[in-house]
Amino acid sequence: MASKIKSSVYSEIGDLSGVILHTPGKEIENMTPGNAEKALYSDILNKNIVDKEYSQFKQVLEQLTPTYEIKDLLEDALSNEKVKYDLVSKITNNENVQYLHDYLMSLEPRQLVTELIEGVVMEKDNLTKFLSKQRYALMPLHNFFFTRDSAVSLYDKVLIGRMASMVRDRESIIMETIFDFSSQVGGTTFNPVDNRCAKKELMIEGGDVLVARDDILLVGQGSRTSTQGVDYLIERFKRKKKKQHILVQEMPYNPESFIHLDMVFSFLDKDQVMTFDPLIFRYTKYITIHITIDNGKVDIREEENLLQALKKLGMDLEPIPCGGPHDIFTQEREQWHSGANFFAIGPGKIMGYERNVHTIETLNNRGYEVLKAKDIIRNKVNPADYQKYVITIEGSELPRGGGGCRCMTMPLKRESVQW
């Protein structure tokens, strides 16, 4: 048996040693235009196209790093009957469907995993259910292929997300079970829900949490991560002896393309970042805040912007503009389709959507060789032959789900970066 991989992430760009994925299944089809908004979508997706695009994305990662599927990890954890009982109890109680408990417990682990993710169809066996407009007693997890949000490898621990919407709560419960009980991956988890003072206002999602360095976190504060979520992190870091910096970027609550910080800012290399300039640099009402926690004491002050704050802390980073440097309309169009959302496989080795042509062209002009995912899969191109590259993923349907390559990955382990 392969040794268990322990979560360890001290930067956004260190060489990747393992990543958790969830291949989209029937759950993304199990919605209609009528319930798409409730499922946090603005449109419904075409699964046939999603399958092709996601397969390309996954095959590239499989060539570059060990990959772990959520379904496999959860099935492994549920081989323990007590773990299975506790998970089913927690989910049915949380979603007020206790009558499903015995049915779910009767399922073999693989079938249970499928039902928990793809949804349990409501049996219309009484009048209330018969008249219900809901098709599912246990809703499908339409958003689970965005594995970034429900759990975060945060240094040597795993932060379990406190999701902004109840339709995603089950994702966090599943991820906590995986990290606590899987024989393949592990990490010491900490969960805001366990805080006896936690209230519904306390929200924090992984798309808003970026690990800049072993002493610097970036956190977006907006519709998915609340000020109380940031306060929760402050209290955690008060226990550390080492000084910790948290740079908070206020985010717009709409449009939906601004749901997380990584939709406007992502790390590319030791000295480069991708930025959506209209928010990061132009004067707006959304401020940047620098929180320093040192030996239990907290200092909070405002900064000019994220780049200036990072520079003061010894990280002098060149911004590369999403959508190119000249046209704000192009910047807005490409940001809408995750043009600022890149995933680093290593320093200067990144993945993003091919459709954002102006962003890709700008990266190419800044030294990134453009490698097509399909050429890597067909062994026409070997990424190891290049020191700096951007792998372009075909994406016409995946971006319509509301996220990019960073959103669809939950890094388990990265090697240390020599700054």
On whether residue 325 sits in a domain, the answer given is yes
Q: What is the reported pLDDT for 97?
A: 95
Contacts of 214 (CB under 8 A, 6+ apart): 10, 11, 155
Q: What is the reported pLDDT for 254?
A: 82
DSSP E strand boundaries for 7-93: 16-21, 67-69
- Dist CA 141 CA 54 (whole Å): 17
- Parallel, antiparallel, or unpaired: how do β-strands 389-393 and 369-372 relate? parallel
- Dist CA 352 CA 98 (whole Å): 42
- Dist CA 57 CA 204 (whole Å): 26
Domain that holds residue 180: 5-414
Q: Length of the chain in residues, anyone? A: 419
On whether residue 289 sits in a domain, the answer given is yes
Q: What is the reported pLDDT for 2?
A: 62
- Dist CA 246 CA 97 (whole Å): 39
Q: What is the reported pLDDT for 46?
A: 86
Q: What is the reported pLDDT for 32?
A: 60
Q: What is the reported pLDDT for 198?
A: 62
pTM of the complete model: 0.94
Dihedral, CA of residue 307, residue 310, residue 315 and residue 321, to nearest 10: -20
| Tokens linked to 325 | 């440097």
Q: What is the CATH number of the domain that holds 361?
A: 3.75.10.10
| Tokens linked to 305 | 């912007």
Q: What is the reported pLDDT for 42?
A: 56
Which amino acid, residue 189? Answer: T
Contact 16, 64 (CB under 8 A): yes
| Whole-number Cα distances in Å, 202 to 180, 196, 259, 358 | 23, 12, 16, 38
Which amino acid, residue 404? Answer: G
Residue 189, classed as helix, strand or coil, is strand
Q: What is the reported pLDDT for 419?
A: 84
| Tokens linked to 324 | 């190119």
CB atoms within 10 A of CB 363: 26
On whether residue 58 sits in a domain, the answer given is yes
On whether residue 419 sits in a domain, the answer given is no
- Can you give the pLDDT of all 419 residues of the chain as single tens digits? 468 999 999 999 999 999 999 999 999 887 665 554 454 555 678 889 999 999 999 999 999 999 999 999 999 999 999 999 999 999 999 999 999 999 999 999 999 999 999 999 999 888 888 888 888 999 999 999 999 999 999 999 999 999 999 989 999 999 999 999 999 999 999 999 886 556 789 999 999 999 999 999 999 999 999 999 999 999 999 988 899 999 999 999 887 779 999 999 999 999 999 999 999 987 778 999 999 999 999 999 999 999 999 999 999 999 999 999 989 999 999 999 999 999 999 999 999 999 999 999 999 999 999 999 999 999 999 999 999 999 999 988 888 888 999 999 999 999 999 98
Query: How many domains, in total, are found in the chain?
Result: 1
On whether residue 408 sits in a domain, the answer given is yes
Sheet holding 67-69, edge to edge: 67-69, 16-21, 410-414
Q: What is the reported pLDDT for 256?
A: 77
- Dist CA 60 CA 377 (whole Å): 6
- Cis amide bond preceding 109, omega within 30: no
- Parallel, antiparallel, or unpaired: how do β-strands 272-275 and 318-321 relate? parallel
276 Rama sector, left if φ>0, alpha if ψ -120 to 50, beta otherwise: beta
Q: What is the reported pLDDT for 196?
A: 57
On whether residue 396 sits in a domain, the answer given is yes
